[in-house]
Structure 1
Amino acid sequence: MDKQQTIEQLKDIIKPYIQNQEAFDTLTEDTDFINDLKINSANLVDVILDIEEKYNIIIDNESMERMVNVKAAMEIIDTKLS
């Protein structure tokens, strides 16, 4: 799976939880889930659960703590899938 495809899939997952449409529209690897997209911590857990379900992976607590932006999410997904 290529990087752009992963970003598009992540956008589908996080779209219901965002509070900042402008940041979502210009989403990059450096986009921060909490600071940029204004996703609250409870919804961030929902995002992680949705990622686990979509990719059929288990994300451990250490990985969850690192998953603060799009790039970290992509790295964790790639690591779990390989």
Structure 2
Amino acid sequence: MSTIDEQRDVKLKEIICEILELEEDEVTETSLFNEDHGADSLRAIEILASLEKEFGVVIDQSEMARMVNVKGVREVVGEAAGW
């Protein structure tokens, strides 16, 4: 993984953890935001909006169904940003 990829991953996780009010070590690649961390749909929308702003992308709300964990978020943002 390149340094740029690592920086993106760090920023993704920072945004997610800040909105979910969790420590970074509490969130794994596959831990589910809703089931494991009690996130509601409003938090999911906040994550989506923050990611769009941070990475300068537009993500269709239909993609939220895939954005259930860090791995899914990375895939969706990566596709929108062309990574």
TM-score normalized by the length of structure 2: 0.77
Return the alpha-carbon distance in structure 1 between the equivalents of residues 42 and 32 of structure 2: 15
8 A contact 2:44–2:64 mirrored in 1: no
Report deviation, 1:6. 2.7
Distance 2:58 2:72 in 1: 15
- Segments of 5+ residues of structure 1 without an aligned counterpart are none
Distance of 2:81 and 2:61 partners within structure 1: 17
**Aligned pair count?**
79
Where does residue 12 of structure 2 map in the other structure?
10
List, as ranges, runs of 4+ consecutive aligned residues in structure 1 with deviation greater than 4 Å.
Answer: none
Between the aligned residues of both structures, percent identity stands at 29
Contact 2:33–2:69 at 8 Å: present in 1 too? yes
Query: RMSD of the TM alignment (CA)?
Result: 1.8
TM-score, structure 1 length as denominator?
Answer: 0.78
Higher helix proportion? 2
Give 1:17-28 correspondences, 5 Å limit.
17-18=19-20, 21=23, 24-28=24-28
Deviation string for 1:12-40 (max 9, x for gaps)?
2122332554xx41432212111222222
Letter of the 2:11 partner, please give it.
Q
Q: What is residue 78 of structure 1 aligned with on the other side?
A: 78
Measure, in 1, the Cα distance between the counterparts of 2:21 and 2:31: 13
